[in-house]
Amino acid sequence: MTKTAVIVITLGLLSVFGCKDQAAPTPGPAAAGSPTTVPAGHPATGIGDLPALPSGEISGALQIADNLKDKVAAGDTVFIMAKNAATGSLVAVTKIQIGDKFPLAFRLSGGDVMHAQTSLAGKVKIEARVDKDKDAMTKNPGDVYGETKELVAIPATGVELTLDRLL
């Protein structure tokens, strides 16, 4: 099968499965000069015409346990994350800074989703982590962590989340 055929099949499958904003693979040097468009008469893929997925919103207040107040300081970075209830995969994340006092208001919305093909919908677990090195990809000893005890159904307001564990 030629690279052109693979591209055409890929574009067709993306259209069938409703994927949005997926670009066809860039042909390598061996395919230089090969056509990268679909053949004449091929049905339109419509990939760019798909509507955005609906997204809800979660808002609430972040507290900190009394025994951990000395582990955080004004200006520390807190990542608030929504994780899929079924898979545990990250759906949305936002970053806030600790101010002079708790509680801290937080909000997650469709603008915070990780991928264009996901939405903030259904049930999620909300987690928060004070990350001293400000790098969301790291979890270091000394970071303060908390999560909701129950799953949160979206949309949700008044979600209470407490930082209550030290990593």
Domain boundaries of the chain, sorted by first residue: 3-49, 58-166
CATH assignment, 58-166 = 2.60.40
Q: Under a CB-based contact definition with an 8 Å cutoff, are residues 122 and 143 in contact?
A: no
Rounded to an integer, what distance in angstroms lies between the CA atom of residue 43 and that of residue 132? 52
| Per-residue pLDDT at 53 | 57
pLDDT-derived band at 45, boundaries 50, 70, 90: low
**Least confident piece of the model among 11-15, 55-59, 130-134:** 11-15
pLDDT-derived band at 142, boundaries 50, 70, 90: confident
CA proximity to 160, closest of 132, 11, 152, 23 = 152
Tokens linked to 52: 């955005």
pTM over cut 0.75: no
What are the Cα distances from residue 8, in Å, to 18, 21, 125, 131? 15, 15, 39, 45
| Per-residue pLDDT at 135 | 75
